[in-house]
Structure 1
């Protein structure tokens, strides 16, 4: 039952064993990871094109996306305000904020990549039997690089354990997302383990879509990608609106992206006091995405 999990989880663990202090090498790895994400998302689009009766499958993708996005997000937003009440975080009201439009465009580029793969797959008269194998090998390389990135993120265990707010936010996101995953699975009448796996994306759209797609096929992979991407787009709008009164809620809803993509807007709208909390919560969630997702995928299989 765990053979598939080990097959995918192994390169992540191997990558985590490589400490790299050379910034140039890390930059190369970061760029390579970004390009591999684009490649594998393009292949995801091709795999969607290879499906029979794509129209009916597209309806399934929209249904799964809407159900899990609303249920998981709702559970998160019901629980996160408790942290603001019990563990209030002081913020700074800053006037200079990053433009949301430029950050949202980066997310929309990823949708365009998947869409281009889908369109080309539907239009070009080529066989697509090779797509699944290519995706698996690229996934292995990508996980290896992600393992290196997590190891060299700069956070020590002490820094994580000391920041109680960041740890609490991560724990609440995990717990409430699991509840949402089970509710979503009940609504759609699918395996609860499949629902828990989908709920373990925590905003990491690229990895979530890739892992779920590899395990359950391109329909659920596409849905998982859209669920987490929508989370990020909503977080970009929600953070400046909420962070003044409910900073922990704003940071928590950003999920794993709080340590990278949405961090600049968290800092610009909430101040430097929010940065350590965002980095710690985002790091923990990023670390848990492959662990929990692969665990539930193995149980669903």
Structure 2
């Protein structure tokens, strides 16, 4: 049951054992990781183009994306406010608001990368039978680099354990997302393990889309990618509106992106006190995404 999980999880584990002190090499790995993500997402677009009945499959992607987004979002936003009530976090407004166009730039770029792969696959008469294999091997390399990044992120286990806000936020996001996944499984008539895998992306759109696509094909890969990307886009808009009165809710809804992509918005809207909370919660969620997603995938039929 777990052999497939261990096989694909091994590059991540191997990367996590690589400790680097060379800042230049770490910067190169960060650039390589970004480039690999672009490559895999373009391959995902090609994989979508290779589907039979592309129109109906795109409709399925939109249905899965919308359903999971609404259900998981409602579950997250129902649970997170209790943290603000029980463990209030002080905020302070610092700096000028970041222009929305600048915040959305990277997200729009990723959508264009997937779209370009889809258009190329539709318009050019090329054999696409090699795409799935290419995605799988490129995924192994990506997981290796992600493992190295997580190991050298600068956060120690002590720093994580001492930040109770960050830990509690991440636990609430995990459990409430799974609750939403179970509800979605019954509504959409999906196996619970598959729905739980789908709900374990926690905002990491690139990796979750890639893992789901590798496990269940381009329809679920595309839906997972769009689900988590939509979560990030909504977080970018809603964080400045929520963070003053409900900072834990705002940080939690950002999911794994709280430690990187949405961190500048959290800092500028909520102040420096929110930064360590966002980094710890985002780090924990980033760390568990591949583990939980691959675990639930491994529960399905071989």
TM-score normalised per structure 2 = 0.99
Unaligned runs of 5+ in 1: none
Match of 2:227 in 1: 227
Q: How does 1:196-275 map to 2 (within 5 A)?
A: 196-275=196-275
Match of 2:183 in 1: 183
Match of 1:56 in 2: 56
Match of 2:300 in 1: 300
CA distance in 2: counterparts of 1:60 and 1:192, whole angstroms:
18
CA distance in 2: counterparts of 1:218 and 1:300, whole angstroms:
17
Match of 2:76 in 1: 76
Match of 1:287 in 2: 287
Match of 1:167 in 2: 167
Q: Displacement of 1:95 after TM fit?
A: 4.9
Could you list the per-position Cα deviations for residues 54-109 of structure 1 after superposition, in whole angstroms to 9, with x for gaps in the alignment? 01101100000000000001100000000000000000023512112111121011
TM-score normalised per structure 1 = 0.99
Deviation beyond 3 Å, 4+ runs, structure 1: none
What's the C-alpha RMSD, in Å, of the aligned pairs? 0.6
Q: Displacement of 1:4 after TM fit?
A: 1.4
CA distance in 2: counterparts of 1:148 and 1:106, whole angstroms:
23
Name the SS of the counterpart of 1:201 in structure 2: coil
2:143 corresponds to 1:154: no
Q: Displacement of 1:120 after TM fit?
A: 0.4
Q: How does 1:118-133 map to 2 (within 5 A)?
A: 118-133=118-133
Could you list the per-position Cα deviations for residues 236-261 of structure 1 after superposition, in whole angstroms to 9, with x for gaps in the alignment? 00100000000000000000000000
CA distance in 2: counterparts of 1:43 and 1:223, whole angstroms:
15
Count of aligned positions: 301
Q: Indicate conservation of the 8 Å contact 2:94/2:267, yes or no.
A: no
Q: Displacement of 1:298 after TM fit?
A: 0.3
CA distance in 2: counterparts of 1:94 and 1:145, whole angstroms:
34
